Amino acid sequence: MPSDLKRVSRALLSVSDKTGLVDFAWALHERGIELVSTGGTHKALSEAGLPVKDVSELTGFPEMMDGRVKTLHPAVHGGLLGIRANPEHQAAMLAHGIQAIDLLVVNLYPFEATVAAGKPYDDCIENIDIGGPAMIRAAAKNHGDVAVVVDGADYTAVLDDLAQYDGSVTLTLRRRLAQKAYSRTAGYDAAISNWFANELGDATPPFRALGGAIAEVMRYGENPHQSAAFYRTPENRPGVATARQVQGKQLSYNNINDTDAAYEAVAEFDPNRSAAIVIVKHANPCGVAEGTSLREAYEKALRCDPVSAFGGIVAMNRTLDAEAAKAITEIFTEVIIAPDASEEAIAIVAAKKNLRLLLAGSLPDPRAPGLTLRTVAGGFLAQNRDNAVVDAMDLKVVTKRAPTEQELADLRFAFRVAKHVKSNAIVYAKDLATVGIGAGQMSRVDSSRIAAWKAAEAAKAANLPETLAKGSVVASDAFFPFADGLLAAAEAGATAVIQPGGSMRDDEVIKAADEAGLAMVFTGHRHFRH
């Protein structure tokens, strides 16, 4: 028997989300626990036939100011904060007629949902809860005597304790609930402060708060000796965090990371213009293509690097259809993510019981603002999402020869892909498909050589007589600091180049391009992705 049980005699309930509330309150009532409540919660309990006091009976004050003031009173906070074993606290409670509150059940005004729904500024302000967080923090601080519930998922745990320990709750449970309570108020305040920063257009506020709700505990992290969990933030961006998993094993840490990379990359391609497929392995695209159908795009993407595609992630910008599903399931694939899927496609994928199928509902907007984060020792880096898109860039022809219309289309395609390849990034593309990708090398010339080698290997795999890079274009995520990387592309068979420009040696690189007969355009935008 636990040594620090606390009997629950009085409970204060004040919830915005009333799911499961009435059943929980009836279970409390049947244990002889007095119920006190506020506003809409009081109405819901009364209409369910429960005897429940209004909080105004404790405070002696009615709700006022549109409900802004109702629980901010010593009768409430004294009941939550009073230490039962402290004689001075007990004397003060007795002197002022303050009754102890042993259980607090509060979930907060739906601020995050209000923001996500795009409601006006004033509506968002009115959904900032004040009394709720104040009570939660008070009860959690005094968890030695008080149990605090901020999540309906914990109703069962409380009732189980009450049943097992004759109307009492354990210190173990009270501590766990207190930790969750502070996490919830921290996440709530983070959502509010970040919303304010966005409203003010302040990209670098003096304090940056983070908050998220657990989605699931992972079996392990990047490696088996690392523990990990997946948390959702209030940002309502379509992707792996919002997707419905139709089938397959639990997603791993690496699956989630790679699937996010794939879906963000495929969102660069307008589904109204063409079908697009991105195949990702270890957070890097290993094949990307556009086509008249998803199957055509998949086959073109797969040809770029069929070896790396084995065990990869496949993302698409349109509804998964049966033909694409048949092609994708011909090789081992870890995850498929799409905006939606036909019933026939779902049935085809179902034959591969371990293959995860995620349906995200829609595509993320590559132009939308947002925040990306990275931890470092002793802190974290925060920056705006790279929402620059090549379609909005003013491409500047810097060579004697201008690219042809076909080269220009391929150049834009290649630069879209390069944005999602780890730096240093080099992408060869032809006919709106990648034919060679070099990623993550310490020197740009090595990335260029690796991409050329990949193109040659892909040609061998397809039994073609010459490298896929012959007649391709090449994109670089950043400028060529020397002409060697550009010349390596020319040697591989590329005919046109797209890069940001801005090097001290731009003139030297342009001269080398002219001498090699290359067409080259500058974007003025760099796409580093470390």
Residues labelled as active-site residues: 141, 282
How many CB atoms neighbour CB 159 within 10 A? 16
Task: Report the C-alpha gap between 298 and 288 in whole angstroms.
Answer: 8
**Tokens (6 digits) for 336:** 């498929």
CB 252 within 8 A of CB 219: yes
Calculate helix-pair angle for 484-492, 506-515, nearest 10 degrees: 20
DSSP 477: S
Question: 10: helix, coil or strand?
Answer: strand
**Tokens (6 digits) for 346:** 């779902």
Question: 59: helix, coil or strand?
Answer: helix
CB 141 within 8 A of CB 81: yes
478-495 burial code (b ≥16 CB/10 A, e <16): bbbbbbbbbbbbbebbbb
Task: Report the C-alpha gap between 228 and 416 in whole angstroms.
Answer: 32
Question: 247: helix, coil or strand?
Answer: strand
CB 319 within 8 A of CB 271: no
What is the distance, to the nearest Å, from the Cα of residue 177 to the centroid of all Cα atoms in its chain?
25
The dihedral built from the CA positions of residue 442, 444, 449 and 455, taken in this order, carries a sign that is: positive
CB 27 within 8 A of CB 159: yes
Residue in the structure block whose two tokens are 């550009």? 486
Alpha helices in 286-443 (DSSP H): 294-304, 306-309, 322-328, 343-350, 405-418
Backbone angles phi, psi at 210, to 5 degrees: -125, 145
The dihedral built from the CA positions of residue 304, 308, 310 and 315, taken in this order, carries a sign that is: negative
DSSP 402: P
Q: Which of 347, 349, 516, 497 is nearest to 429 (CA)?
A: 497
CB 285 within 8 A of CB 265: yes
